[in-house]
Amino acid sequence: MKYATYRKSGFGHRIARALRWSFYLLLLLALLDVAYLAWIWPDWQSFQQGPIQRSSFIRDYEAEQRLDPDLPELDWNPVALNRIPQHMVRSVIIAEDSRFYSHGGIDWQALGEAMQYNLARGRLIYGGSTISQQTAKNLFLSPSRNPLRKWHELVLTLAMEHHLSKRRILEHYLNVAQFGHGLFGVDAAARHYWGIPASSLSKRQAIELAASLPSPMTTNPAARNRTFLNRVTKISRHFRRWASD
């Protein structure tokens, strides 16, 4: 009897010790994560006005290009939002984030709908990311897919929505979104695909650029595959509906 009691006591002690060390480990990881966020935390004032800064994705591409000279040179020419046609802005909002002006950075409704859609098909198809989330990811993070990156994206998105206006977030997004290999921003994309500045984009061309997102390497105005053309049709339909409201 005493032996059984001792065994139970020893087992309980080991469980308590394991839980205690698990807690210490989680606390250490949390502190490290806070330190990492503090290290990458932006100077929001520098993003509120002035020139558009190089995004993390652009810097990563430059590093890749130095390692692999066969990759296309970086093509990036940031422009002010007032030099981008309104139909370009509208096309991107329709394509990527129809409730952009009504949410605080995270569209919980779209996120829930995306989860239901993915679960019904047993695989990840739609992510439900907003323009704000994509902007935060492009500006400050990496393309890696892991829970910590999504957590950092969430924190940075909410902070960005607090510090930057919707107009400024759009200005950043339209200048750092990727539209092909080494191709960043709508002005570089317009010049690459049609030889014109962003200010000269027609409504059809704007819709085609918006249809390139979020997979511009395979769906873009040059590829013109079925997925791309279906997205063009869908965005055009919603564009006409928006214009008639």
CA distance to 5, 10, 12, 14, per residue, from 18 (Å) = 20, 12, 10, 6
According to DSSP H, which parts of the chain are helical? 2-40, 44-48, 56-67, 86-96, 108-121, 131-140, 147-163, 166-176, 186-194, 203-211, 226-244
Closest by Cα among 101, 98, 122 to 110: 98
Chain-centre distance for alpha carbon 186: 16
pLDDT at 101: 95
C-alpha 1/C-alpha 213 separation (Å) is 70
C-alpha 26/C-alpha 37 separation (Å) is 16
pLDDT at 109: 81
In single-letter form, the type of residue at position 130 comes to: T
Q: Which residues, other chains included, contact 49 with Cβ-Cβ below 8 Å and sequence gap of 6+?
A: 168
pLDDT tier at 40, thresholds 50, 70, 90: confident
Q: Strand 75-76's sheet: what is its strand order? A: 75-76, 183-184, 178-180
Percentage above 70 pLDDT, the chain: 87
Reading the block at residue 106, the tokens are 């995270």
Q: What is the mean pLDDT of the chain?
A: 87
Mean pLDDT of 42-48: 93
Tens digit of pLDDT for each residue in 160-207?
Answer: 999 999 999 999 999 999 999 999 999 999 999 999 999 999 999 999
CA distance to 28, 99, 122, 181, 193, per residue, from 220 (Å) = 44, 24, 27, 11, 9
| Top CATH class, 44-244 | mainly alpha
Question: Taking 60 as the threshold, does the pLDDT of residue 105 lie above it?
Answer: yes
pLDDT tier at 10, thresholds 50, 70, 90: low
pLDDT tier at 7, thresholds 50, 70, 90: low
pLDDT tier at 12, thresholds 50, 70, 90: low
Q: Is the peptide bond before 214 cis (omega within 30 degrees of 0)?
A: yes
pLDDT at 22: 77
Q: Which residues, other chains included, contact 171 with Cβ-Cβ below 8 Å and sequence gap of 6+?
A: 52, 80, 81
pLDDT tier at 120, thresholds 50, 70, 90: low
pLDDT tier at 226, thresholds 50, 70, 90: very high
pLDDT at 33: 77
